[in-house]
Structure 1
Amino acid sequence: MAANDPLPTAEQLQDLLLESPGFTEFLLGLTAISASLLGGETPLLCAITVEREAGPATVASSTEAARALDERQYAYDDGPCLTALRQQHTVLIPDLQSDERWGWYARAVADEGIRTVLAVPIKSDNGSRSALNCYSTLAGTFDPGTVAAVEEHAASLSRILRLAMRVHPTDVYPEHLRSALQSRAIVDAAVSLIMVHNRCGREDAVRLLHLASRSSNRRLHDIAQDILKNTSDIPGIAPGGEINKKA
Protein backbone atom coordinates (compact mmCIF):
# COMPACT_ATOMS: atom_id res chain seq x y z
CA MET A 1 0.00 0.00 0.00
CA ALA A 2 1.22 3.49 -0.79
CA ALA A 3 2.95 5.12 2.15
CA ASN A 4 0.89 7.38 4.40
CA ASP A 5 -2.39 6.45 2.65
CA PRO A 6 -4.84 5.21 5.31
CA LEU A 7 -7.93 3.22 4.43
CA PRO A 8 -10.96 5.42 3.73
CA THR A 9 -13.20 5.84 6.73
CA ALA A 10 -16.73 4.41 6.89
CA GLU A 11 -18.05 7.98 6.79
CA GLN A 12 -16.10 8.74 3.60
CA LEU A 13 -17.43 5.59 1.94
CA GLN A 14 -20.98 6.47 3.00
CA ASP A 15 -20.56 9.95 1.53
CA LEU A 16 -19.34 8.38 -1.71
CA LEU A 17 -22.44 6.17 -1.89
CA LEU A 18 -24.84 8.98 -1.01
CA GLU A 19 -23.34 11.37 -3.53
CA SER A 20 -22.96 8.91 -6.42
CA PRO A 21 -25.86 9.08 -8.90
CA GLY A 22 -25.82 5.33 -9.56
CA PHE A 23 -24.21 1.97 -8.79
CA THR A 24 -21.80 2.18 -11.71
CA GLU A 25 -20.55 5.60 -10.62
CA PHE A 26 -20.17 4.42 -7.03
CA LEU A 27 -18.16 1.34 -8.07
CA LEU A 28 -15.93 3.40 -10.35
CA GLY A 29 -15.19 5.66 -7.41
CA LEU A 30 -14.28 2.63 -5.29
CA THR A 31 -11.89 1.24 -7.90
CA ALA A 32 -10.22 4.60 -8.39
CA ILE A 33 -9.73 4.96 -4.64
CA SER A 34 -8.43 1.37 -4.42
CA ALA A 35 -5.85 1.88 -7.16
CA SER A 36 -4.72 5.13 -5.52
CA LEU A 37 -4.42 3.71 -2.00
CA LEU A 38 -2.93 0.32 -2.87
CA GLY A 39 -0.44 1.40 -5.50
CA GLY A 40 3.05 2.19 -4.27
CA GLU A 41 6.11 2.78 -6.44
CA THR A 42 4.64 0.33 -8.94
CA PRO A 43 1.13 1.50 -9.98
CA LEU A 44 -1.66 -1.07 -9.80
CA LEU A 45 -4.57 -1.64 -12.13
CA CYS A 46 -7.70 -2.41 -10.12
CA ALA A 47 -11.16 -3.67 -10.97
CA ILE A 48 -14.18 -4.79 -8.99
CA THR A 49 -16.13 -7.73 -10.39
CA VAL A 50 -19.71 -8.25 -9.26
CA GLU A 51 -21.76 -11.33 -10.07
CA ARG A 52 -25.50 -10.87 -9.90
CA GLU A 53 -28.38 -12.75 -11.50
CA ALA A 54 -27.24 -11.84 -15.02
CA GLY A 55 -23.76 -13.31 -14.51
CA PRO A 56 -20.30 -11.80 -13.88
CA ALA A 57 -19.55 -8.33 -15.15
CA THR A 58 -16.80 -5.88 -14.27
CA VAL A 59 -18.95 -3.05 -13.05
CA ALA A 60 -16.00 -0.70 -12.69
CA SER A 61 -12.25 -0.53 -13.23
CA SER A 62 -9.55 2.03 -12.51
CA THR A 63 -8.50 1.98 -16.19
CA GLU A 64 -9.76 0.49 -19.45
CA ALA A 65 -6.76 -1.88 -19.33
CA ALA A 66 -8.01 -3.30 -16.02
CA ARG A 67 -11.46 -3.84 -17.51
CA ALA A 68 -9.94 -5.68 -20.48
CA LEU A 69 -7.87 -7.92 -18.18
CA ASP A 70 -11.03 -8.99 -16.36
CA GLU A 71 -13.08 -9.46 -19.49
CA ARG A 72 -10.48 -11.79 -21.04
CA GLN A 73 -11.50 -14.26 -18.31
CA TYR A 74 -15.21 -14.02 -19.08
CA ALA A 75 -14.65 -15.41 -22.57
CA TYR A 76 -13.37 -18.64 -20.94
CA ASP A 77 -15.68 -18.41 -17.92
CA ASP A 78 -12.57 -19.06 -15.85
CA GLY A 79 -9.59 -17.19 -14.42
CA PRO A 80 -8.09 -15.88 -11.17
CA CYS A 81 -10.70 -13.18 -10.51
CA LEU A 82 -13.65 -15.49 -11.25
CA THR A 83 -12.11 -18.17 -9.02
CA ALA A 84 -11.68 -15.71 -6.13
CA LEU A 85 -15.23 -14.49 -6.61
CA ARG A 86 -16.91 -17.91 -6.90
CA GLN A 87 -14.83 -19.84 -4.36
CA GLN A 88 -14.49 -16.86 -2.01
CA HIS A 89 -10.77 -17.14 -1.32
CA THR A 90 -7.72 -15.10 -2.27
CA VAL A 91 -5.97 -16.05 -5.51
CA LEU A 92 -2.36 -14.92 -5.98
CA ILE A 93 -0.28 -15.42 -9.11
CA PRO A 94 3.23 -14.18 -8.19
CA ASP A 95 4.53 -14.51 -11.76
CA LEU A 96 2.19 -15.22 -14.68
CA GLN A 97 5.04 -16.26 -16.94
CA SER A 98 6.02 -19.21 -14.75
CA ASP A 99 2.56 -20.16 -13.50
CA GLU A 100 1.26 -23.54 -14.70
CA ARG A 101 -2.40 -23.33 -13.71
CA TRP A 102 -3.11 -20.04 -15.48
CA GLY A 103 -0.82 -20.46 -18.47
CA TRP A 104 -3.65 -19.84 -20.92
CA TYR A 105 -4.46 -16.56 -19.18
CA ALA A 106 -0.81 -15.48 -19.27
CA ARG A 107 -0.81 -16.02 -23.04
CA ALA A 108 -4.11 -14.16 -23.43
CA VAL A 109 -2.81 -11.03 -21.67
CA ALA A 110 0.80 -11.22 -22.87
CA ASP A 111 0.35 -8.06 -24.93
CA GLU A 112 -0.68 -6.11 -21.80
CA GLY A 113 2.65 -6.62 -20.00
CA ILE A 114 0.99 -7.96 -16.83
CA ARG A 115 3.26 -10.13 -14.68
CA THR A 116 1.34 -10.69 -11.46
CA VAL A 117 -2.29 -10.86 -10.37
CA LEU A 118 -4.03 -10.74 -6.98
CA ALA A 119 -7.77 -11.36 -6.65
CA VAL A 120 -9.47 -10.99 -3.27
CA PRO A 121 -13.15 -11.73 -2.56
CA ILE A 122 -15.33 -9.03 -1.05
CA LYS A 123 -17.96 -10.47 1.26
CA SER A 124 -21.46 -9.76 -0.04
CA ASP A 125 -25.01 -11.09 0.31
CA ASN A 126 -28.40 -11.26 -1.42
CA GLY A 127 -27.17 -13.96 -3.79
CA SER A 128 -24.41 -11.74 -5.19
CA ARG A 129 -20.65 -12.26 -5.15
CA SER A 130 -17.85 -9.79 -5.71
CA ALA A 131 -14.06 -9.52 -5.80
CA LEU A 132 -11.33 -6.89 -5.95
CA ASN A 133 -8.81 -7.65 -8.71
CA CYS A 134 -5.34 -6.09 -8.78
CA TYR A 135 -2.81 -6.32 -11.61
CA SER A 136 0.84 -5.25 -11.81
CA THR A 137 3.47 -5.16 -14.54
CA LEU A 138 6.19 -6.13 -12.03
CA ALA A 139 6.56 -9.74 -10.82
CA GLY A 140 6.69 -10.06 -7.04
CA THR A 141 4.66 -6.91 -6.40
CA PHE A 142 2.33 -8.76 -4.04
CA ASP A 143 4.56 -9.72 -1.12
CA PRO A 144 2.87 -10.98 2.09
CA GLY A 145 2.51 -7.48 3.51
CA THR A 146 0.91 -6.16 0.34
CA VAL A 147 -1.44 -9.15 0.11
CA ALA A 148 -2.53 -8.52 3.71
CA ALA A 149 -3.10 -4.82 2.94
CA VAL A 150 -5.25 -5.64 -0.10
CA GLU A 151 -7.25 -8.18 1.91
CA GLU A 152 -7.78 -5.59 4.65
CA HIS A 153 -8.91 -3.05 2.08
CA ALA A 154 -11.31 -5.55 0.46
CA ALA A 155 -12.78 -6.34 3.88
CA SER A 156 -13.29 -2.62 4.54
CA LEU A 157 -15.35 -2.36 1.33
CA SER A 158 -17.72 -5.22 2.20
CA ARG A 159 -20.30 -3.36 4.27
CA ILE A 160 -20.65 -0.36 1.98
CA LEU A 161 -20.74 -2.57 -1.14
CA ARG A 162 -23.51 -4.72 0.32
CA LEU A 163 -25.44 -1.57 1.15
CA ALA A 164 -24.89 -0.20 -2.36
CA MET A 165 -26.24 -3.38 -3.95
CA ARG A 166 -29.39 -3.10 -1.82
CA VAL A 167 -29.88 0.57 -2.64
CA HIS A 168 -29.13 0.27 -6.37
CA PRO A 169 -30.70 -2.47 -8.50
CA THR A 170 -28.74 -3.95 -11.40
CA ASP A 171 -27.96 -1.20 -13.91
CA VAL A 172 -29.74 -1.88 -17.18
CA TYR A 173 -29.31 0.83 -19.78
CA PRO A 174 -29.94 1.02 -23.53
CA GLU A 175 -26.68 0.71 -25.44
CA HIS A 176 -26.80 4.29 -26.72
CA LEU A 177 -26.73 5.62 -23.13
CA ARG A 178 -23.70 3.65 -21.96
CA SER A 179 -20.99 5.96 -23.35
CA ALA A 180 -22.65 9.03 -21.81
CA LEU A 181 -22.99 7.27 -18.45
CA GLN A 182 -19.37 6.11 -18.56
CA SER A 183 -18.17 9.66 -19.24
CA ARG A 184 -20.16 10.98 -16.27
CA ALA A 185 -18.91 8.12 -14.10
CA ILE A 186 -15.27 9.01 -14.87
CA VAL A 187 -15.83 12.57 -13.63
CA ASP A 188 -17.61 11.26 -10.53
CA ALA A 189 -14.70 8.89 -9.80
CA ALA A 190 -12.23 11.77 -10.04
CA VAL A 191 -14.39 13.82 -7.66
CA SER A 192 -14.37 10.87 -5.24
CA LEU A 193 -10.56 10.76 -5.28
CA ILE A 194 -10.35 14.51 -4.67
CA MET A 195 -12.71 14.13 -1.69
CA VAL A 196 -10.63 11.34 -0.14
CA HIS A 197 -7.23 12.98 -0.71
CA ASN A 198 -8.32 16.41 0.54
CA ARG A 199 -10.80 15.10 3.15
CA CYS A 200 -13.34 17.57 1.84
CA GLY A 201 -16.99 17.46 0.80
CA ARG A 202 -18.31 16.88 -2.70
CA GLU A 203 -19.02 20.57 -3.31
CA ASP A 204 -15.39 21.55 -2.61
CA ALA A 205 -14.13 18.62 -4.70
CA VAL A 206 -16.25 19.65 -7.68
CA ARG A 207 -15.03 23.23 -7.27
CA LEU A 208 -11.41 22.02 -7.33
CA LEU A 209 -12.04 20.00 -10.47
CA HIS A 210 -13.67 22.95 -12.24
CA LEU A 211 -10.79 25.23 -11.22
CA ALA A 212 -8.27 22.73 -12.63
CA SER A 213 -10.26 22.64 -15.85
CA ARG A 214 -10.42 26.43 -16.18
CA SER A 215 -6.78 27.00 -15.28
CA SER A 216 -5.60 24.51 -17.92
CA ASN A 217 -8.32 25.30 -20.48
CA ARG A 218 -9.19 21.60 -20.77
CA ARG A 219 -12.43 19.65 -20.54
CA LEU A 220 -13.56 18.28 -17.17
CA HIS A 221 -13.60 14.75 -18.65
CA ASP A 222 -9.95 15.05 -19.77
CA ILE A 223 -8.84 16.37 -16.35
CA ALA A 224 -10.76 13.53 -14.67
CA GLN A 225 -9.08 10.90 -16.84
CA ASP A 226 -5.65 12.30 -15.95
CA ILE A 227 -6.51 12.11 -12.24
CA LEU A 228 -7.57 8.45 -12.53
CA LYS A 229 -4.34 7.60 -14.37
CA ASN A 230 -2.01 9.56 -12.09
CA THR A 231 -2.95 10.65 -8.57
CA SER A 232 -0.21 13.30 -8.61
CA ASP A 233 -2.61 15.27 -10.80
CA ILE A 234 -5.19 15.54 -8.01
CA PRO A 235 -5.81 19.22 -7.18
CA GLY A 236 -5.45 20.07 -3.51
CA ILE A 237 -6.16 22.68 -0.88
CA ALA A 238 -3.20 24.49 0.68
CA PRO A 239 -3.03 24.84 4.50
CA GLY A 240 -4.22 28.44 4.28
CA GLY A 241 -7.29 27.46 2.30
CA GLU A 242 -6.00 28.48 -1.11
CA ILE A 243 -6.46 26.06 -3.97
CA ASN A 244 -3.40 24.46 -5.50
CA LYS A 245 -3.39 23.22 -9.07
CA LYS A 246 -1.98 19.89 -7.82
CA ALA A 247 -1.84 18.22 -4.42
Structure 2
Amino acid sequence: MDVLGSVHSLLLSGPGLEDLLVKLAGMAAKVVDPPASCGMTTRYDGEPRTIVTSDPRAALIDEQQYILGEGPCLDVLENGEVVDVADQASEYRWRRYRDSALELGVTASLSFPLIVDDQIIGALNLYGYDRPNSFSEADRERAAAVADQAATTLAFAARAVQQSQLGEQLERALASRSVIDQALGVLMGQQKCDARTAFELLRRHSQNTNRKLRDVAADLITKLTGQAPVDTRTFEPDGDSDGPESG
Protein backbone atom coordinates (compact mmCIF):
# COMPACT_ATOMS: atom_id res chain seq x y z
CA MET A 1 0.00 0.00 0.00
CA ASP A 2 1.33 3.43 -0.99
CA VAL A 3 0.67 5.23 2.28
CA LEU A 4 2.13 8.60 1.31
CA GLY A 5 0.30 8.55 -2.01
CA SER A 6 -2.98 7.83 -0.26
CA VAL A 7 -2.37 10.56 2.29
CA HIS A 8 -1.56 13.10 -0.40
CA SER A 9 -4.78 12.13 -2.18
CA LEU A 10 -6.67 12.91 1.02
CA LEU A 11 -4.98 16.29 1.22
CA LEU A 12 -5.88 17.11 -2.37
CA SER A 13 -9.51 16.07 -1.89
CA GLY A 14 -9.98 19.07 0.41
CA PRO A 15 -12.04 17.75 3.36
CA GLY A 16 -12.30 19.70 6.59
CA LEU A 17 -9.47 19.34 9.06
CA GLU A 18 -11.38 17.07 11.43
CA ASP A 19 -12.55 14.87 8.58
CA LEU A 20 -9.01 14.64 7.30
CA LEU A 21 -7.61 13.66 10.69
CA VAL A 22 -10.36 11.05 11.13
CA LYS A 23 -9.40 9.57 7.78
CA LEU A 24 -5.73 9.60 8.75
CA ALA A 25 -6.58 7.80 12.01
CA GLY A 26 -8.57 5.22 10.06
CA MET A 27 -5.70 4.81 7.63
CA ALA A 28 -3.17 4.32 10.45
CA ALA A 29 -5.41 1.65 11.99
CA LYS A 30 -5.55 -0.27 8.70
CA VAL A 31 -1.94 -0.04 7.53
CA VAL A 32 -0.97 -2.58 10.19
CA ASP A 33 -1.86 -6.26 9.97
CA PRO A 34 -4.03 -7.22 11.71
CA PRO A 35 -5.85 -3.85 11.88
CA ALA A 36 -5.64 -1.92 15.15
CA SER A 37 -7.35 1.04 16.81
CA CYS A 38 -5.87 4.51 16.43
CA GLY A 39 -6.21 7.65 18.52
CA MET A 40 -4.54 11.03 18.06
CA THR A 41 -3.71 13.09 21.13
CA THR A 42 -2.66 16.70 21.51
CA ARG A 43 -2.54 19.13 24.40
CA TYR A 44 -5.23 21.73 24.97
CA ASP A 45 -4.82 24.24 27.79
CA GLY A 46 -1.97 22.08 29.06
CA GLU A 47 -4.09 18.93 29.27
CA PRO A 48 -3.94 15.89 26.96
CA ARG A 49 -6.99 15.52 24.73
CA THR A 50 -7.94 12.94 22.12
CA ILE A 51 -8.84 14.86 18.99
CA VAL A 52 -9.84 11.99 16.68
CA THR A 53 -9.99 8.18 16.77
CA SER A 54 -10.59 5.39 14.32
CA ASP A 55 -13.15 3.88 16.74
CA PRO A 56 -14.56 4.50 20.25
CA ARG A 57 -12.30 1.83 21.78
CA ALA A 58 -9.18 3.91 21.12
CA ALA A 59 -10.74 6.91 22.84
CA LEU A 60 -11.45 4.79 25.91
CA ILE A 61 -7.85 3.55 26.11
CA ASP A 62 -6.52 7.08 25.68
CA GLU A 63 -8.84 8.34 28.40
CA GLN A 64 -7.63 5.73 30.87
CA GLN A 65 -4.10 7.10 30.49
CA TYR A 66 -5.28 10.66 31.08
CA ILE A 67 -7.18 9.62 34.21
CA LEU A 68 -4.31 7.54 35.61
CA GLY A 69 -1.65 10.06 34.61
CA GLU A 70 0.54 7.40 33.01
CA GLY A 71 0.90 5.38 29.84
CA PRO A 72 2.71 5.28 26.50
CA CYS A 73 0.71 8.15 25.03
CA LEU A 74 1.69 10.51 27.84
CA ASP A 75 5.34 9.42 27.66
CA VAL A 76 5.40 10.28 23.96
CA LEU A 77 3.92 13.72 24.63
CA GLU A 78 6.57 14.30 27.28
CA ASN A 79 9.67 12.85 25.61
CA GLY A 80 8.94 12.94 21.88
CA GLU A 81 10.17 9.37 21.35
CA VAL A 82 8.40 6.36 19.86
CA VAL A 83 7.05 4.01 22.53
CA ASP A 84 6.73 0.36 21.48
CA VAL A 85 4.84 -2.02 23.75
CA ALA A 86 5.44 -5.45 22.26
CA ASP A 87 3.54 -7.40 24.93
CA GLN A 88 1.15 -5.51 27.17
CA ALA A 89 0.92 -8.40 29.65
CA SER A 90 4.65 -8.19 30.41
CA GLU A 91 4.90 -4.39 30.35
CA TYR A 92 5.43 -2.89 33.80
CA ARG A 93 6.52 0.68 33.05
CA TRP A 94 3.01 1.85 33.89
CA ARG A 95 1.53 -0.64 36.33
CA ARG A 96 -1.90 0.95 36.76
CA TYR A 97 -2.32 1.57 33.05
CA ARG A 98 -1.13 -1.99 32.30
CA ASP A 99 -4.09 -3.44 34.20
CA SER A 100 -6.59 -1.10 32.52
CA ALA A 101 -5.17 -1.80 29.07
CA LEU A 102 -5.38 -5.57 29.58
CA GLU A 103 -8.99 -5.24 30.75
CA LEU A 104 -9.73 -3.36 27.53
CA GLY A 105 -8.15 -6.11 25.46
CA VAL A 106 -4.89 -4.40 24.47
CA THR A 107 -2.14 -6.90 23.65
CA ALA A 108 0.39 -4.51 22.03
CA SER A 109 0.68 -0.83 21.19
CA LEU A 110 2.72 1.70 19.24
CA SER A 111 2.82 5.42 19.97
CA PHE A 112 4.46 7.95 17.64
CA PRO A 113 5.27 11.58 18.44
CA LEU A 114 3.85 14.22 16.13
CA ILE A 115 6.75 16.65 15.80
CA VAL A 116 6.99 19.84 13.77
CA ASP A 117 9.93 22.26 13.94
CA ASP A 118 11.34 20.31 16.90
CA GLN A 119 8.11 20.84 18.84
CA ILE A 120 6.00 17.93 20.11
CA ILE A 121 2.46 18.81 19.04
CA GLY A 122 0.78 15.46 19.67
CA ALA A 123 0.90 11.69 19.55
CA LEU A 124 -0.53 8.99 17.29
CA ASN A 125 -1.36 5.82 19.21
CA LEU A 126 -2.04 2.36 17.78
CA TYR A 127 -3.60 -0.33 19.96
CA GLY A 128 -3.55 -3.97 18.88
CA TYR A 129 -5.91 -6.62 20.24
CA ASP A 130 -4.99 -9.75 18.29
CA ARG A 131 -1.74 -10.98 19.83
CA PRO A 132 1.53 -9.77 21.43
CA ASN A 133 4.35 -8.72 19.07
CA SER A 134 1.76 -8.00 16.43
CA PHE A 135 3.50 -5.01 14.81
CA SER A 136 6.07 -5.93 12.16
CA GLU A 137 8.84 -3.65 10.94
CA ALA A 138 6.79 -2.96 7.82
CA ASP A 139 3.81 -2.05 10.03
CA ARG A 140 5.99 0.41 11.94
CA GLU A 141 7.25 2.06 8.76
CA ARG A 142 3.76 2.49 7.32
CA ALA A 143 2.33 3.80 10.59
CA ALA A 144 5.26 6.20 10.96
CA ALA A 145 4.51 7.61 7.50
CA VAL A 146 0.91 8.33 8.51
CA ALA A 147 2.12 9.89 11.77
CA ASP A 148 4.43 12.20 9.81
CA GLN A 149 1.52 13.35 7.67
CA ALA A 150 -0.71 13.84 10.72
CA ALA A 151 1.97 16.07 12.24
CA THR A 152 2.14 18.12 9.05
CA THR A 153 -1.65 18.45 8.94
CA LEU A 154 -1.81 19.64 12.55
CA ALA A 155 1.02 22.09 11.88
CA PHE A 156 -0.85 23.57 8.90
CA ALA A 157 -3.94 23.94 11.07
CA ALA A 158 -2.00 25.64 13.87
CA ARG A 159 -0.35 28.05 11.44
CA ALA A 160 -3.71 28.87 9.86
CA VAL A 161 -5.09 29.77 13.30
CA GLN A 162 -2.02 31.88 14.05
CA GLN A 163 -2.36 33.69 10.73
CA SER A 164 -6.03 34.34 11.42
CA GLN A 165 -5.22 35.75 14.85
CA LEU A 166 -2.45 37.86 13.35
CA GLY A 167 -4.85 39.18 10.76
CA GLU A 168 -7.38 40.14 13.43
CA GLN A 169 -4.66 41.92 15.41
CA LEU A 170 -3.59 43.79 12.30
CA GLU A 171 -7.17 44.85 11.59
CA ARG A 172 -7.52 46.19 15.13
CA ALA A 173 -4.22 48.03 14.82
CA LEU A 174 -5.27 49.62 11.53
CA ALA A 175 -8.63 50.64 12.97
CA SER A 176 -6.87 52.28 15.93
CA ARG A 177 -4.51 54.04 13.54
CA SER A 178 -7.47 55.44 11.64
CA VAL A 179 -9.00 56.91 14.82
CA ILE A 180 -5.66 58.35 15.96
CA ASP A 181 -5.11 59.97 12.56
CA GLN A 182 -8.52 61.61 12.75
CA ALA A 183 -7.71 62.98 16.23
CA LEU A 184 -4.39 64.33 15.01
CA GLY A 185 -6.23 66.21 12.27
CA VAL A 186 -8.54 67.73 14.88
CA LEU A 187 -5.62 68.82 17.09
CA MET A 188 -3.70 70.28 14.14
CA GLY A 189 -6.75 72.42 13.30
CA GLN A 190 -7.39 73.48 16.89
CA GLN A 191 -3.79 74.17 17.90
CA LYS A 192 -2.52 75.36 14.51
CA CYS A 193 0.38 72.92 14.79
CA ASP A 194 2.07 70.24 12.71
CA ALA A 195 1.43 66.51 12.94
CA ARG A 196 4.46 65.81 15.14
CA THR A 197 3.35 68.37 17.75
CA ALA A 198 -0.24 67.09 17.60
CA PHE A 199 0.94 63.53 18.22
CA GLU A 200 3.06 64.66 21.17
CA LEU A 201 0.04 66.41 22.70
CA LEU A 202 -2.08 63.29 22.26
CA ARG A 203 0.63 61.01 23.64
CA ARG A 204 1.21 63.23 26.68
CA HIS A 205 -2.50 63.23 27.51
CA SER A 206 -2.54 59.44 27.15
CA GLN A 207 0.33 59.07 29.61
CA ASN A 208 -1.11 61.60 32.10
CA THR A 209 -4.48 59.85 32.19
CA ASN A 210 -3.00 56.33 31.98
CA ARG A 211 -5.25 55.49 29.05
CA LYS A 212 -4.61 53.98 25.65
CA LEU A 213 -3.76 56.40 22.86
CA ARG A 214 -6.67 55.12 20.78
CA ASP A 215 -9.16 55.77 23.62
CA VAL A 216 -7.89 59.31 24.15
CA ALA A 217 -8.18 59.95 20.41
CA ALA A 218 -11.72 58.53 20.34
CA ASP A 219 -12.79 60.80 23.22
CA LEU A 220 -11.44 63.86 21.44
CA ILE A 221 -13.39 63.06 18.26
CA THR A 222 -16.58 62.25 20.21
CA LYS A 223 -16.44 65.57 22.09
CA LEU A 224 -15.98 67.47 18.84
CA THR A 225 -18.59 65.70 16.70
CA GLY A 226 -20.98 64.30 19.29
CA GLN A 227 -20.54 60.86 17.75
CA ALA A 228 -18.13 57.99 18.27
CA PRO A 229 -15.40 57.79 15.62
CA VAL A 230 -15.64 55.33 12.75
CA ASP A 231 -12.96 53.50 10.83
CA THR A 232 -12.53 55.57 7.68
CA ARG A 233 -11.24 52.51 5.83
CA THR A 234 -14.83 51.21 5.73
CA PHE A 235 -16.08 54.13 3.64
CA GLU A 236 -16.96 53.22 0.07
CA PRO A 237 -16.93 55.83 -2.70
CA ASP A 238 -20.17 56.57 -4.50
CA GLY A 239 -20.58 55.04 -7.90
CA ASP A 240 -20.17 58.39 -9.65
CA SER A 241 -17.28 59.68 -7.56
CA ASP A 242 -14.63 58.85 -10.11
CA GLY A 243 -15.41 61.97 -12.07
CA PRO A 244 -18.15 64.04 -13.64
CA GLU A 245 -20.71 62.25 -15.73
CA SER A 246 -20.07 62.51 -19.40
CA GLY A 247 -22.87 63.97 -21.25
TM-score, structure 2 normalization: 0.58
Tell me, what secondary structure is at the counterpart of 2:134?
coil
Distance 1:88 1:126 in 2: 9
Tell me which of 26, 32, 36 is aligned to 1:44.
36
1:125 deviation in Å? 5.6
Q: Is the 8 A contact 1:97 1:103 kept in 2?
A: no
- What residue is the counterpart of 1:130 in the other structure? 122
Structure of larger gyration radius:
2
Tell me, what secondary structure is at the counterpart of 1:83?
helix
Tell me which of 163, 169, 180 is aligned to 2:156.
163
Q: Is the 8 A contact 2:70 2:97 kept in 1?
A: no
Aligned length: 161
Distance 1:108 1:69 in 2: 8
The residue type equivalent to 1:123 in the other structure is: I
1:7 deviation in Å? 2.8
Tell me, what secondary structure is at the counterpart of 2:35?
coil
> How big is each residue's C-alpha offset from its partner over 1:99-130, in whole Å with a ceiling of 9 and x where there is no partner?
12123212112222111111010113697621
The residue type equivalent to 1:29 in the other structure is: K
Tell me which of 125, 133, 139 is aligned to 1:140.
133
Q: Is the 8 A contact 2:70 2:94 kept in 1?
A: no
Distance 2:39 2:85 in 1: 16
**Root-mean-square deviation (CA), in Å?**
2.4
Distance 2:158 2:18 in 1: 11
- What residue is the counterpart of 1:79 in the other structure? 71
Q: Is the 8 A contact 1:123 1:130 kept in 2?
A: yes
C-alpha spacing 1:135/1:61, structure 2 compared with 1 (3 Å): same
Q: Which runs of 5+ in 2 are unaligned?
A: 163-247
- What residue is the counterpart of 2:20 in the other structure? 26
- What residue is the counterpart of 1:223 in the other structure? none
Q: Which runs of 5+ in 1 are unaligned?
A: 170-247
Distance 1:70 1:10 in 2: 24
C-alpha spacing 1:144/1:127, structure 2 compared with 1 (3 Å): closer
C-alpha spacing 1:96/1:111, structure 2 compared with 1 (3 Å): same
Distance 1:35 1:45 in 2: 5
Q: Relative CO higher for 1 or 2, CA cutoff 8 Å, sep ≥ 6? A: 1
Identity of aligned residues (%): 25
The residue type equivalent to 2:24 in the other structure is: L
Tell me which of 135, 138, 143 is aligned to 1:150.
143
| 1:105 and 2:84 correspond | no
Q: Is the 8 A contact 2:27 2:146 kept in 1?
A: no
Q: Is the 8 A contact 1:118 1:133 kept in 2?
A: yes
C-alpha spacing 1:30/1:165, structure 2 compared with 1 (3 Å): farther
- What residue is the counterpart of 1:61 in the other structure? 53
1:9 deviation in Å? 4.8
C-alpha spacing 1:115/1:60, structure 2 compared with 1 (3 Å): same
C-alpha spacing 1:53/1:140, structure 2 compared with 1 (3 Å): same
| 1:15 and 2:12 correspond | yes
1:10 deviation in Å? 5.8
Distance 2:117 2:63 in 1: 23
Tell me, what secondary structure is at the counterpart of 2:159?
helix
Q: Is the 8 A contact 1:47 1:58 kept in 2?
A: yes
TM-score, structure 1 normalization: 0.58
Tell me, what secondary structure is at the counterpart of 2:116?
coil
- What residue is the counterpart of 1:207 in the other structure? none
Distance 1:72 1:127 in 2: 25
Q: Is the 8 A contact 2:21 2:52 kept in 1?
A: yes
